[in-house]
Amino acid sequence: MFKRSEQAVHEMLAPLGITIGGSSPQDIRIHDQRFYDRIMSGGSLGLGESYMDGWWDANQLDAFFAALLSDRSLIERAKKFWPAMLNAYAGNMVNRQGTARQSFKSGQAHYDIGNDLYTRMLDTRMAYTCGYWKDATNVDEAQEAKFDLVCRKIGLKPGMKVLDLGCGWGCFAKFAAEKYDVSVVGVTVSKDQVALGMEMCQGLPVELKLQDYRDTSGKYDRVVSIGLMEHIGPKNYRTFMQVIHRTLKDGDEGLALVHTIGGNYSTTSIDPWIDKYIFPNAVLPSIAQISAAMENLFVMEDWHNIGADYDKTLMAWYENISAKWDELDPQKYDERFRRMWDYYLLSCAGSFRSRMNQLWQVVISKKGVPGGYMTVR
């Protein structure tokens, strides 16, 4: 059986320029011959789990995935493996993020694993979303530039009230309050984020709440969502847009911005390995799904794709955590966890490098900006 599976894997990788045992960055090395059967039976889930188990390595994991994911037909074939089909079935039949309890559970699975990990991986502001690298030379500059870009896109002015849906550790809220003299209310489903975030925002007009986005109330001059839409599920996209519409003040000047990872096609599920180990119940929205969710609610004022910048951001996170891994508790973050985390960061970097995934910033208004929206870059 090994020989048949081995031949199939070789035939799959060869056209992509990936050699087993080669010396190029994208080439891989096999340490356990069971790898071949595991891939042919489990698809992307088997690929990720066998890496966690130490059955194979890559010369550069990010380069391997950039090459692998450049073949869109291979991605289509991956959907036919049973873990992917099971995820797709569940996504079609069940609203996996239908209740606040489910969203809290998903948040705890990733964002509450430990602030000790994230403080060593992220920039000084604790931004866990794509940076803006147009003029930046490091991740700190890229995240500051991203926040400033968001503030300029929505036209922040002193005294405005801002709602931040999916606020993380309050990094945007802190930046906007400091630099643009606004007050911010942020909501997240991670208790660890609220605890550290409120500490970081001490003394500023910022309030972070442990709350599901659907439970927000009040009216705000501006609404932003930076990295939430990926987590709410397709069956809730319309509800998400309705929440933005409900909380954004009426009038000609109200603007909202949605910053989200996006996919090139509409789906109801995510990669099985990512779903199981990193972001449970997450799904990347497509252009069609986003536009359908906002129909008859908003005017789309601007759509900006900075997806290539996520490759640089993920590589910066990988370099940060690699340099500081020895500072972490090995009992809490063992070798298998480290391989899982490396696989997560570098496979995602490869996915953005291959342009399989995108990062969109969408500016929307309720009735359209009078005279037209002036695009900001």
Q: What amino acid is encoded at 135 in this protein?
A: D
Phi-psi region of 279 (alpha: psi -120 to 50; beta: other; left: phi over 0): beta
Q: What amino acid is encoded at 377 in this protein?
A: R
Specify whether 201 is catalytic: no
Whole-angstrom Cα distance, residue 247 to residue 339? 42
CA atoms within 13 A on the CB side of 160: 26
Four-residue CA torsion sign, 331, 336, 338, 344: negative
Provide the b/e sequence for 197-236 (b: ≥16 CB within 10 Å). Answer: bbebbeebebbbeebbbbebeeebbbbbbbbbbbbbbbbb
Residue 97: name the closest of 252, 192, 210, 231 by CA: 231
Catalytic residue, chosen from 130, 151, 171, 348, is 348
Q: Strand pairing partners for 357?
A: 263
For 298, phi then psi, to 5°, come to -135, 160
Record the tokens describing residue 170, joined without a space. Answer: 């309050």
**C-alpha dihedral over 252, 253, 254, 257, to 10 degrees?**
120
Alpha-carbon distances of 178 from 4, 87, 151, 225, 278, rounded to whole Å: 61, 43, 12, 19, 32
What residues are annotated to the active site?
A: 348
